Amino acid sequence: MFISNAYAQTAGAATGGAMSSLTQMLPLVLMFVVLYFIMIRPQMKKQKEHKAMIDAIAKGDEVVTAGGLLARITKVDEQYVSAEVAGNVVVQFQRSAVVQVLPKGTIK
């Protein structure tokens, strides 16, 4: 009486359901590809270079630590490195704390 009858609409022409879902996913996939090439890939490359540098550390190398300490390597262990900071002052730190290997003769 007060409520009118609701009738379903007739089915329209079939739309390309697979095509529309593909076009909806395309921006997401494109953003992931851009993110990979701008952020993830360069970071992985940098980590690989740092690991190779740490594995190549040898006695006599001059290095810079993460704390900014300049030192000459005196002893290399599997995980730790002993380095001379000044005359007869030897410190021990983790290999991963080495940020850069300097050219020979940099430290006077």
**pLDDT, average across residues 64-80:** 94
User: Residue 16: is its pLDDT beyond 80?
Assistant: no
Give the span between the Cα atoms of 66 and 62, in whole angstroms. 14
Q: Express each pLDDT in 95-104 by its tens digit.
A: 999 999 999 9
Q: What pLDDT, on the 0 to 100 scale, is given for residue 92?
A: 96
Instruction: Report residue 87 CA to chain centroid gap.
Output: 37
User: Residue 52: is its pLDDT beyond 90?
Assistant: yes
Q: What pLDDT, on the 0 to 100 scale, is given for residue 7?
A: 82
User: Residue 50: is its pLDDT beyond 80?
Assistant: yes
pTM exceeding 0.75: no
CB atoms inside a 10 Å sphere around CB 61: 19
Calculate the alpha carbon distances from 30 to 6, 33, 36, 39, 108 in Å: 43, 5, 10, 14, 52
Q: Are the C-beta atoms of residues 85 and 73 closer than 8 Å to each other?
A: no
DSSP, res 2 = -
Residue 79 C-beta-side C-alpha neighbours within 13 Å: 0
Q: What pLDDT, on the 0 to 100 scale, is given for residue 2?
A: 83
CB atoms inside a 10 Å sphere around CB 64: 17
